[in-house]
Amino acid sequence: MTSPAPAPGDARRYSRITGTGSHLPPRRLTNADMVALLAARGLETSDEWIVERTGIKARHFADDGVNASDLALHACRAALQAAGRTADDVDLIIVATSTPDMVFPSTACILQNKLGANGCMAFDLQAVCSGFVYALSVADAMVKAGGVQCALVVGAEVFSRILDFDDRTTCVLFGDGAGAVVLEASDEPGILATELHADGKHVGILCVPGTVAGGSVLGDPLLKMDGQAVFKLAVGVLDSAARAVLAKAGRSEADVDWLVPHQANIRIMQGTAKKLKLPLEKLVVTVDEHGNTSAASVPLALDVAVRSGRIQRGHTVMLEGVGGGFTWGAVLLDF
Ligand code: UT7
């Protein structure tokens, strides 16, 4: 629980994470399961290829009829419980997702109703795999501006719904899940600095190039990725975002206790840690068990590290996102 927050407009008004939660759908598919699934479609893959190129050993897929808001609901309940809060305390919900329940209304509104937090602000934010870092930065600004005391910031995805199981270069990479944090106004930090970027000239390297019009799907509603192009861009922008957010906060690499990057590929994550001269023990890794859960990956990894006792109160944590758009960003915080 945080102490009473300074009044709106007070420079000492900070935002602070007071609880984390996450949820994975129970259906777990190992790489062996993916080998069998692809073989049935006449495609080859192997556990060795997937582990060596990505670090992924398993991913979770939601059952039919289970949507992003359902996964988010579990994550939010756990986060609220950890913060000692109830749905009545929440005055803002932001859901970062690229796999919303419906075209509209927002998944945040659907989640709000399931939580029983009716009446508060609620909206979705679309920044693909950078979505949670974007959403946390927006919520931080809204808390500091004074209009919000207690926010639920969520990343929730059912990427299994937009995978092309005839494309072995992408379908083995992604999974479903949700993570959430409770962010509250506080007189102590908290979020120290945020850094967000986008470059729309790279729209085509990671996209779902379809839409709905006249009662039909127009274009292709399945995920396309130029993996090598994304890889190269990700390595560069994750490093620059990390350095920029540290500079903004007046901190150095040596101050970072934990790096929680977007969980897409172990090689990218380890490369980022090495460039920052962080020992690999400070890198939180869940990609092996979760696969790439897009906007859910960072809050899922954060919650796993908190609940396992690694991330503790007072630790300095760097969160990093990168993904379609192209979008990227970082948040530095004292937990
Ligand atoms: O969430 C947003 C951020 N996303 C990312 O950060 C993803 C970034 N990209 C990556 O992680 C990697 O580029 C991949 C994991 C997607 C691919 O790894 P790669 O080392 O770049 O492999 P590649 O695309 O160069 O493919 C190497 C070979 C190819 O065969 P040839 O042409 O060398 O004969 C592919 O056809 O691996 C083949 N291949 C596969 N083989 C077995 C591609 N997919 C598979 C597969 N199983 N599933």
The pLDDT assigned to 3 comes to: 53
Work out which ligand 1 atom sits closest to the CA atom of 171. Answer: 48
Residues in the chain: 335
Q: Is the CB of 81 inside a 6 Å radius of any atom of ligand 1?
A: no
Q: Which residue has the tokens 């090598």?
A: 228
Does the C-beta of 169 come closer than 6 Å to ligand 1? yes
Cβ proximity of 208 and 222 under 8 Å: yes
What span, in angstroms and rounded, lies between the C-alpha atoms of 130 and 322? Answer: 5
Looking at residue 1, its pLDDT comes to: 40
Single-letter residue type at 314: G
Q: Dihedral sign, CA of 44, 45, 46, 49?
A: positive
| Residues assigned a catalytic role | 129, 262, 292
CB of 130 shorter than 6 A to ligand 1: no
Q: Is the CB of 231 under 6 A from ligand 1?
A: yes
pLDDT tens for the chain, residues 1 to 335: 445 677 766 778 999 999 999 999 999 999 999 999 999 999 999 999 999 999 999 999 999 999 999 999 999 999 999 999 999 999 999 999 999 999 999 999 999 999 999 999 999 999 999 999 999 999 999 999 998 999 999 999 999 999 999 999 999 999 999 999 999 999 999 999 999 999 999 999 999 999 999 999 999 999 999 999 999 999 999 999 999 999 999 999 999 999 999 999 999 999 999 999 999 999 999 999 999 999 999 999 999 999 999 999 999 999 999 999 999 999 999 99
CA distance 43 to 52: 19
Residue in this structure with the two tokens 């729209």, named with its chain if needed: 203
* CA 194/CA 244 separation, integer angstroms: 9
Measure the CA–CA gap between 322 and 238, rounded to whole angstroms.
Answer: 7
Using the mean position of ligand 1's atoms as its centre, give its distance from the Cα of residue 201 in Å: 22
Domain annotation for the chain: domains and CATH numbers: 14-186 (3.40.47.10), 191-334 (3.40.47.10)
**DSSP reduced 3-state for 212:** strand
Task: Using the mean position of ligand 1's atoms as its centre, give its distance from the Cα of residue 53 in Å.
Answer: 7
Atom 18 of ligand 1, nearest CA residue: 53
Counting ligand 1 atoms within 8 A of each CB, the residue from 31, 43, 169 with the most, and so the one to mutate, is 169
The answer to whether the CB of 265 is under 6 A from ligand 1 is yes
Tell whether ligand 1 has an atom less than 6 A from the beta carbon of residue 230: yes
227 C-alpha to ligand 1 centroid (Å): 6
Helix (H, G, I), strand (E, B) or coil at 291: coil
Q: Among all chains, which residue has been given the structure tokens 């506080």?
A: 186
pLDDT at 6: 74
Amino acid 12: pLDDT? 80
